[in-house]
Amino acid sequence: MDRTLYRRISNIVFVVLTAAATLVALTALVLILWSLVSKGIGGIDSKIFTMTQPAPGSEGGLSNAIMGSLIMCGLGMAMALVVGILAGTWLSEYGGNTPYGHVVRFLNDVLLSAPSILIGLFVYELLVRPFHGFSAWAGGVALAIIATPIVTRTTEDILNLQPSALREAGMALGAARSFVIRKIIWKAARAGLVTGGLLGFARISGETAPLLFTALGNQFFSTSLTQPMASLPTTIFQFALSAYEDWQRLAWVGALLIAIAVLSINIIGRIIAREARRS
């Protein structure tokens, strides 16, 4: 066969295949979003944010679950940011090329893809059983363990992108290494660090499995860190599996709320990253 003709045909076949694959992926995404919006949008009203979850058949909202999600995600991110940024900084600036550094990086990558239900069980053994009770603390720790490797990874990647001339320029003025990292390198990388934090936040805001074993869920409004706490994912899990139609409707609303939150966090992260690249 003519060589050019063969190439033209194989090119067309390949383009059609990749386009079809893209179409499949996009269709799935659009269908999910469509069913979320169509089933959830009607249920959004002020009661969702002001009333706690109802008994079947009575009026109510999701305020306890929204508050619980915010508290536990905030708690988890606070821990994950401290540990993750310090660990990522160590990998990038100090020990990344030592044998210990390679081990740390490898374990971090393993943790990055660890099934979240395992993390839930781990924290159950660590914090729930010894203290004889589910608690928001345990939920926050489980979420922190999921977010930490994400923050560690992005921190290391972002810091590695900073030019070594910047470090040398700081050192050349006589500043100590740690001072250069804190005052110059972190500052130069701040947009990337914020993006890493937002990615971690987006990831844990939808996690269900690790919370089932740790914070359990709570049908009442609670801000106590030592008590079980409700969260959007666990409430969705509970309501969606129930037989009551009004509960199922609330589950759709909760799912839509999470989707909107994750989407806007990702968009904000992208905008920040792009602004930083421009300046």
Partner 1 sequence: MNALSHLTEDVHLAFPPRDNLAIEARNLDFFYGKTQALHGVDLPVERNKITALIGPSGCGKSTLLRALNRIYDLYPRQQAVGRILLDGHDVLADRKSLQRLRERDGGGDAEMVRSPVDVAGLRARVGMVFQKPTPFPMSIYDNVAFGVRLYRRVSRAEMDMIVEKALRRAALWDEVKDKLGTSGLGLSGGQQQRLCVARGIAVEPDVLLLDEPASALDPVSTAKLEETLVELRQDFTIVIVTHNLQQAARISNYTGFMYLGRMMEFQSTEELFANPRGQRTRDYVTGRFG
Residue ranges that bind partner 1, judged by CB under 8 A: 163-177, 179, 183-184, 187-188, 190, 279
In the complex, the smallest distance separating the C-beta of residue 183 from partner 1, rounded to whole angstroms, is 8
Provide CB contacts within 8 A for 73, sequence distance 6+.
143, 201, 204, 205
In this structure, are residues 237 and 208 in contact, taking their beta carbons and an 8 Å threshold?
yes
| Residue placing its CB nearer to partner 1 in the complex, 58 or 279 | 279
d(Cα 227, Cα 135) in Å, to the nearest integer?
A: 5
52 closest CA partner among 221, 217, 215, 218: 221
Three-state DSSP state, 49:
helix
| Residue placing its CB nearer to partner 1 in the complex, 117 or 175 | 175
In the complex, the smallest distance separating the C-beta of residue 195 from partner 1, rounded to whole angstroms, is 16
The percent of the chain in helix, strand and coil, each rounded to the nearest 5, is 75, 0, 25
Phi-psi region for residue 114, left (φ > 0), alpha (ψ -120 to 50) or beta?
A: beta
In the complex, the smallest distance separating the C-beta of residue 79 from partner 1, rounded to whole angstroms, is 27
- Half-sphere exposure for 44 (CA within 13 Å, toward CB): 14
- State how far Cα 77 lies from the chain centre: 9
In this structure, are residues 49 and 219 in contact, taking their beta carbons and an 8 Å threshold?
no
| Residue placing its CB nearer to partner 1 in the complex, 46 or 164 | 164
| Residue placing its CB nearer to partner 1 in the complex, 7 or 187 | 187
| Residue placing its CB nearer to partner 1 in the complex, 56 or 163 | 163
d(Cα 269, Cα 267) in Å, to the nearest integer?
A: 5
In the complex, the smallest distance separating the C-beta of residue 168 from partner 1, rounded to whole angstroms, is 6
In the complex, the smallest distance separating the C-beta of residue 31 from partner 1, rounded to whole angstroms, is 44
| Residue placing its CB nearer to partner 1 in the complex, 191 or 198 | 191
In the complex, the smallest distance separating the C-beta of residue 185 from partner 1, rounded to whole angstroms, is 9
